[in-house]
């Protein structure tokens, strides 16, 4: 295994939830990733008997995992009937984007005020791994997990893990659309450049620069989802006219 890929995997594993060792948490994490990566596309039916056999567990941890996924609005559980992966909801995409911009710009403002040298050092280590992983097109999922780790690092350093958890629980619809994007070399480089700009703002204690870099990094034009909805209409919930 490539040394950079191994280092990236080790870093991502360190970022796993504390309760990852429990059966329900492992099932939740695996199913969540399969849903977000579109391995389990929107509208897919999930059979509990098949899932219990796959994960070699009883119904109790499986039920707990599915309930957590329902709280994230990634599945819909119909009692005594079936469980379905939810369709992508466009209003919830916009809500998640708004939440991310609001919270993450405030977090980097606080970090810039402090100077946060430890965050800058750790962030640059993540960027180095992203840069190495980006050269291997088979490691796109790992690149995305490193991106998640970079943003989690900002919250964790301030003791705001719960706020990061809030974003994570509200971003399932947004994250799935992001997986539909074609990640060209230029796009991957743009993501890395955005991270570098954020860290520069923090390092120089320039609050406005850090906030501006984060806003630019997260910015999406109002109609950015439309091309994906048109190309994958079966993945999206019908849009209700106002």
Q: Report the pLDDT value the prediction gives residue 184, as an integer from 0 to 100.
A: 87
Coil vs helix vs strand at 78: strand
Is residue 3 predicted with pLDDT exceeding 60?
Answer: no
Q: How far is CA 217 from the centre of its chain?
A: 14
Is residue 68 predicted with pLDDT exceeding 90?
Answer: yes
Q: Report the pLDDT value the prediction gives residue 20, as an integer from 0 to 100.
A: 46
Q: Report the pLDDT value the prediction gives residue 172, as an integer from 0 to 100.
A: 96
Q: Report the pLDDT value the prediction gives residue 52, as an integer from 0 to 100.
A: 92
Residues 79-100 as b/e (b if ≥16 CB within 10 A, e otherwise) read eeeebebbbbbbebbeebbebb
Is residue 90 predicted with pLDDT exceeding 80?
Answer: yes
C-alpha 50/C-alpha 52 separation (Å) is: 6
Question: Which tokens hold the place of 182?
Answer: 């074609």
Please, which residues have CB within 8 angstroms of residue 100's CB and are 6 or more apart in sequence?
A: 167, 171, 174, 218
* Mean pLDDT, residues 103-108 taken together: 98
* Mean pLDDT, residues 183-200 taken together: 94
pLDDT tens profile 118-143: 999 999 999 999 999 988 878 888 89
Kindly report the average pLDDT of the chain as a whole number. 90
Q: Report the pLDDT value the prediction gives residue 18, as an integer from 0 to 100.
A: 47
* Mean pLDDT, residues 42-63 taken together: 93
Burial of 27 (0-12, 13-18, 19+ CB in 10 A): buried
* Higher per-residue pLDDT: 76 or 240: 76
pLDDT tens profile 164-181: 999 999 999 999 999 998
Please, which residues have CB within 8 angstroms of residue 112's CB and are 6 or more apart in sequence?
A: 201, 202, 204, 205, 206, 207, 209, 210, 211
Query: For the chain, which domains are there?
Result: 16-85 (1.10.10.10), 90-224 (1.20.120)
């Amino acid at each position: 295994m490539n040394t950079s890929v191994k280092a990236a995997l080790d870093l991502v594993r360190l970022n796993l939830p504390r309760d990852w060792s429990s059966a329900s948490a492992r099932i939740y994490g695996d199913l969540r990733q399969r849903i977000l990566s579109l391995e389990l596309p929107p509208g897919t039916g999930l059979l509990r008997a098949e899932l219990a056999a796959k994960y070699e567990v009883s119904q109790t941890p499986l039920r707990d995992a599915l309930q957590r996924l329902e709280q994230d609005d990634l599945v819909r559980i119909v009692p005594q009937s079936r469980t379905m992966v939810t369709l992508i909801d466009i209003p919830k995409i916009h809500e998640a984007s708004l939440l991310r911009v609001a919270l993450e710009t405030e977090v980097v403002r606080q970090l810039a005020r402090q100077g946060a040298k430890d965050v800058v050092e750790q962030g640059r280590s993540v960027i180095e791994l992203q840069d190495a992983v980006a050269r291997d097109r088979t490691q796109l999922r790992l690149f995305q997990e490193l991106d998640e780790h970079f943003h989690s690092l900002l919250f964790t350093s301030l003791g705001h893990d719960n706020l990061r958890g809030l974003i994570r629980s509200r971003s399932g619809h947004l994250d799935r659309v992001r997986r539909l994007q074609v990640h060209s070399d230029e796009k991957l480089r743009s993501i890395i450049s955005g991270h570098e700009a954020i860290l520069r703002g923090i390092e120089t204690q320039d609050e406005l620069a850090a906030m501006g870099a984060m806003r630019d990094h997260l910015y999406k034009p109002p109609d950015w989802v439309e091309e994906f909805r048109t190309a994958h209409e079966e993945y999206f919930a019908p849009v209700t006219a106002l």
